[in-house]
Amino acid sequence: MRSSSSAAIASKPVPEGGEVIDATGKFLIPGLVDLHNHYRDGLEEWAWGLQLHAGVLTVRSLGSDHGQTPAMIAEARAGNVPAPRIFTAGVGFSHPEGFPPGKLGPATEEEAREMVRELAAQEVDLIKMWVDTFLDTRPKIEPGIRAAIADEAAQYGIPVSAHVFFEDDVWQLVEAGVRSFVHGVRDQEVDDEFVAMAQDNGLTFAPALGQAKTFWWVAEHPELLDDEEFRAGIQPPAFERLLDPGNRAAMLESESTARRRVAYDYVTKFVRRMNEAGVVITAGSDSGAGNIAYGWGTHHELEALVEDGGLTPLQALAAAGAAAAAELTGDPDFGTVADGKAADLVLLFADPLADIRNTRQIDRVMQAGVWLGRGLPAFPQPAD
């Protein structure tokens, strides 16, 4: 980890024309991998610029590719737009009247299968589904439809990742073949039988703890409103709302926040239990949702995984490193600092193992062997 003391790297000959950096006292980590993001139509370059600035060099877009977003992802992959390495679910599934609005909402199993075939033709990297009532406000996608989606996706070898809240749904989805989850069990404490099932099936969870506490976090930490990287990564109207002390007080007093705190207590216990049992925990910020700023959100999630989820700083780095990379591809060439890998690197001023918040102390970011010019992008002005 300490870059100046790595004998293996120090002994490598410097390639001709190579630049030598004195990183004495600095710390080298792999470019961060964030498995849970939502990009907004027309705001993609802004979001990716924020993530590059924050050292987030691989991302997974989880089901919100609307409008120009698919075309922008294609441009990014072609190298025409600065962006992290992108994996995407395209547009995800929910109940026709479910949340979020505007998703794929098949009425029948055959329609669900047809929609999966269309996504397969678009060459999505995974399929996303939301399985949640959103605090009893929306219907959940039907179990038979979920199973049809998972079964059809399996025909094409496409993995499925499900947003979950209730333990019962995890059991049903695992039965249907789903192994990857975002968020976690938030309605009760799980028992030994659940833990064994999660171990036996190699389940992974990206719990989005930072997003879960966004409903009260800013109100309890108003100093965050002065944090440049937080401010830069949130859409201005949402930031304006947070500046109003009345709105922040309302966040703390609302009945839904009280319910969300109960859910948070369950999900943090869940993450601790899973992590202790060796079930893979990965980093996914849910950036683009609520008050989760792009870039900043990934570091916020790492902090929450340690502070509330009980991960060690090293485990948190793996959650945004090797563990996340393993979920994205069977043969990842990113997510670790090792010979022969893509040179996606973040050089830090301070030791992340001493304090996970030191991942924010960024000196430089290298993407595929090239140092990036860093800077917080301005929110795009409408063209009129």
Residues interacting with Zn ion, by CB under 5 A? Answer: 286
Q: How far is the CB of 182 from Zn ion (least distance, A)?
A: 6
Q: How many C-beta atoms lie closer than 10 Å to residue 151's C-beta?
A: 16
Q: Of 209, 218, 273, 274, which Cα lies nearest the Cα of 243?
A: 218
- Nearest distance in Å: CB 110, Zn ion: 27
DSSP assignments along 270-336, one per residue: HHHHHHHTT-EE-----BTSTT--TTHHHHHHHHHHHHTT---HHHHHHHTTHHHHHHH-SS-SSSS
The residue of the chain with the least Cβ separation from Zn ion equals: 286
CB nearer to Zn ion: give 128 or 360.
128
Nearer to Zn ion, 195 or 289 (CB): 289
Exposure of 257 in the CB half-sphere (CA atoms within 13 A):
16
Q: Cα separations (Å) of 307 from 3, 27, 58, 146, 210?
A: 26, 21, 24, 34, 10
Q: What's the closest the beta carbon of residue 36 comes to Zn ion, in angstroms? A: 5
Return the axis-axis angle of helices 69-77 and 44-53, rounded to nearest 10°.
50
To Zn ion, the closest distance from the beta carbon of 301 in angstroms equals: 12
Beta carbon nearer to Zn ion, 286 or 303: 286
Q: How far is the CB of 258 from Zn ion (least distance, A)?
A: 22
CB of 92 to Zn ion, least distance (A): 9
CB of 271 to Zn ion, least distance (A): 17
Q: How far apart are CA 374 and CA 369, in angstroms?
A: 15
| CB of 64 or CB of 275, closer to Zn ion | 64
Closer residue to Zn ion, CB minimum distance, 99 or 156: 99
Query: How far apart are CB 289 and Zn ion at their closest, in Å?
Result: 5
**C-beta of 221: minimal distance to Zn ion in Å?**
22
> Which residue, 169 or 286, has its beta carbon nearer to Zn ion?
286
Residue among 286 and 301 whose Cβ is closer to Zn ion: 286
User: What is the amino acid identity at position 363?
Assistant: D
Phi, psi (deg, nearest 5) at residue 33: -115, 125
Query: 47 vs 342, which CB is nearer to Zn ion?
Result: 47
CA 161 vs. chain centroid, Å, equals: 12
Q: Rounded to 5 degrees, what are φ and ψ at 345? A: -135, 150
Residue 63 CA to its chain's centroid (Å): 12
Helix axes 245-253, 236-243, angle to 10 degrees: 80
CB nearer Zn ion, residue 49 or residue 297: 297
**Spatial strand order in the sheet of 180-183:** 127-130, 160-164, 180-183, 204-206, 280-281
For the CA atoms of 212, 216, 219, 220, what is the dihedral angle to 10 degrees?
-100
CB 351 within 8 A of CB 24: no
